[in-house]
Structure 1
Amino acid sequence: MPAHIELGKRGEQLARTHLEATGYEILDQNWTHAKAEIDIIAYKNGVIIFIEVKSRSYNYFGEPEDFVDRRKQRLLARAADEYIYLMNHQGEVRFDIVSVLFASDDSHKLKHIEDAFWPQPE
């Protein structure tokens, strides 16, 4: 498996562990619709949270969360709309980012950014 794929999987597992430890119920992981994949879909306090996990092994060009651009946000919003429709969810939704920055000694820094963005219409 390519190193960047393995890094992403490790980041998603760390994010899931963190979310569960802080009271989130994981509804789905790696849920896809059309061209979009939502890394983690969670539920807490009546809110469905769509979570993008970004993992990097360095931050020379920016923090991991900086790589969730407008295009990615629009893709996530389309997939989230479909998920909300399928689940007939009538409550609030939120978009979060979990950023995982790995160090060369295999330690990591995890940052959970709640309400990180609200996708803009095209």
Structure 2
Amino acid sequence: MAAKDERGRAGEDRACAYLAAQGFRVVSRNWRTTSGELDIVAVRGRSLVVVEVKTRRTTDYGDPLAAVDRRKLAQVWRLALGWVREHPEESRGRTVRVDVIGITGEDPATADLAHLEDVR
């Protein structure tokens, strides 16, 4: 696995641990279609939360949260709707939102973590 892929996986692991500590239950990771991939799908209460995770070593190329632009956000929403269609048992009666978690630092396990909720 390439170093970039390993860093991304470590960032997603960190994000899942953070979400669990915040009371979320992760129901899916790395859900793929021909159109793309959802990093994390989690539930808390009546919310189904699709989480895009961006992990970077530094902010030399910008804040990882800023990497989720309108185009990327639109793609995440399209994928989220596909996930809902394929998982009606987890989705029924829940509101859907997209969150973004940015992780910045050398070691994703101890790096700075920022969580933006309900990104539109």
- Is 1:98 aligned with 2:85? no
Partner AA of 2:26 in structure 1? I
Partner AA of 2:39 in structure 1? D
Structure-1 separation of matches of 2:59 and 2:24: 28
User: Structure 1-normalised TM-score?
Assistant: 0.87
Partner AA of 1:113 in structure 2? L
Partner AA of 1:101 in structure 2? T
Please give the secondary structure, in 2, of the residue aligned with 1:80: helix
Please give the secondary structure, in 1, of the residue aligned with 2:74: helix
Moved more, 81-90 or 17-26: 81-90
- Give the aligned partner of residue 113 of structure 2: 110
CA distance change for structure 1 residues 107 and 24 in 2, over 3 Å: closer, same or farther?
closer
Contact 2:31 / 2:37 at 8 angstroms: preserved in 1? yes
- Give the aligned partner of residue 9 of structure 1: 9
Percent of aligned positions that are identical: 31
Partner AA of 1:60 in structure 2? D
Structure-2 separation of matches of 1:103 and 1:2: 16
After TM superposition, the structure 1 = structure 2 runs for residues 1-122 of structure 1, keeping only pairs within 5 Å, are 1-88=1-88, 89-103=92-106, 107-115=110-118, 117-118=119-120
Superposition RMSD in Å:
1.6
Structure-2 separation of matches of 1:30 and 1:87: 15
Aligned pairs, number: 116
**Cα deviation, residue 90, structure 1:** 3.7
Q: Structure 2: which 5+ residue stretches go unaligned?
A: none
Please give the secondary structure, in 1, of the residue aligned with 2:51: strand
Structure-2 separation of matches of 1:26 and 1:63: 25
Moved more, 74-83 or 46-55: 74-83
Q: Structure 1: which 5+ residue stretches go unaligned?
A: none
